[in-house]
Structure 1
Amino acid sequence: MLTARGSTRSHCSASAAPKVAERLLAAASELFYRQGFRAVGVEQIVREARTTKPTLYRYFASKDELSAACLRKQAASEWAILAQVAIGLADDPLAHLRSIIMSVARRISHPDYPGWPMTHAAIEFPQQGHPARQVLDGFKAQMRVMLTDLAEKAALSDPGSLADGLLLLIEGAAVSLHSFGSDGPSNALSEAADALIEAYKARR
């Protein structure tokens, strides 16, 4: 997941490299998540990680590349959560689909939840060619494919359209959280998603 530069370093340096890179990644991820990618500078990251700017640039070519690495880490965490959700539901795609929405709704409803990082970052990185944006686009595309696949396996009408509707609800809930908090419109995610799924069931 991480790509540390300078592969000709000694064995001792190479063994220490992952620890330094992971420390930088952990510090940057926390700062980006809480304060935003644009608001956090390199100086703040290296101070939090207890290292130096030259060390950061030894492992990450730029702040943009570090941002992309943080989002790859976040994407891996999101997929791990979704994998846990899927346990025991391989033969019930409809229940699997609903469990994904419930999982998102539970996270959003927590009072301390600061929002979905993948939505935050998409707003901060509008440029299509940006390394971080490429990670985001890939993640969202995979999510769309997964929801479509589950809707198709559940024999629901127009799986692609349903998947897009569910993804819109997830994204909308994540965004509205910032304006209204966890007791606002985002609190209706599960109910709205259930109604949408039922509507597509009725079309079969």
Structure 2
Amino acid sequence: MKGTMRERIVTAATELFYAQGLRAVSADRVIEQVGTTKVTFYRHFRSKDDLIVAYLERRAAWEREGIAQEIAQAGGDLDATLRRIADGIGATSCSPGFRGCPFINAAAEYPDPAHPVRQVVDAHRRWYLRMFESLLAPLQLGNGAETAADLVLLRDGAMVTGYLGDPAVVAGALYRSAQAVIAYARGA
């Protein structure tokens, strides 16, 4: 593993947490994977929960960068943006090793909304809402926030369906559903 010790710890945790679950992986398991000591681990992270927060923040950054690229490549075309996002979610959620949305998984393991892990999950969901609201803003919908919430719900469903489906089928269903939600919001 390359990078700083902190980066190496987060990288190892990312692999382990995603594959095995947040509560199932101990700090000792991460320490063993990295090949470091407890003293070094706790120099970088006060607790396992702090490491989980760092892991989720890394995952959030990756998702946000990916979505930003799709938006930029669509050049302001809402339909093209939705298609690109749907295709990306379909490909991701149906890929080998996919074990669900790390944020949905984290919310299931940390249901207390005051817990720092859950706060990262909630912040990422708010980001998704704001992103969809921003995409919908040019349409001047009277119910843009509700429509954005509907799109987040569709995204969540596609992430879960990916376990069971084909990427093209998941992407197509997500895209068509998003179009239907927007058409409904427009009064069509």
- Write the distance in 2 (CA, Å) between the matches of 1:55 and 1:135: 25
Q: Does 1:121 align with 2:106?
A: yes
Tell me the residue number matched to 1:69: 54
Structure 2 CA distance for partners of 1:80 and 1:74, relative to 1, 3 Å: same
- 2:20 aligns with one of 28, 35, 40: 35
Q: How does 1:35-184 map to 2 (within 5 A)?
A: 35-156=20-141, 158-177=143-162, 181-183=164-166
Cα offset, 1:99, TM superposition: 2.8
Cα offset, 1:67, TM superposition: 0.4
Cα offset, 1:176, TM superposition: 4.1
Tell me the residue number matched to 2:4: 19
Return the TM-score normalized by structure 2: 0.86
Highest Rg: 1 or 2?
A: 1
Structure 2 CA distance for partners of 1:82 and 1:44, relative to 1, 3 Å: same
Return the TM-score normalized by structure 1: 0.80
Give aligned-pair identity as a percent.
36
- Write the distance in 2 (CA, Å) between the matches of 1:37 and 1:190: 31
- Write the distance in 2 (CA, Å) between the matches of 1:73 and 1:84: 17
- Write the distance in 2 (CA, Å) between the matches of 1:112 and 1:27: 16
Amino acid at match of 1:131: P
Aligned residues: 183
Tell me the residue number matched to 2:184: 199
Cα offset, 1:94, TM superposition: 4.2
Gaps of 5+ in 1: 1-17
61-70 or 163-172, which deviates more: 163-172
- 1:166-194 Cα offsets, whole Å, 9 max, x none, are 1111112223445xx2259x823233223
Cα offset, 1:119, TM superposition: 1.3
- Write the distance in 1 (CA, Å) between the matches of 2:126 and 2:20: 26
Amino acid at match of 2:138: K
Cα offset, 1:116, TM superposition: 1.5
- Write the distance in 2 (CA, Å) between the matches of 1:119 and 1:37: 12
Q: Is the 8 A contact 1:158 1:200 kept in 2?
A: yes
Q: Which has the higher contact order (CA 8 A, sep 6+)?
A: 2
- Write the distance in 1 (CA, Å) between the matches of 2:73 and 2:37: 46
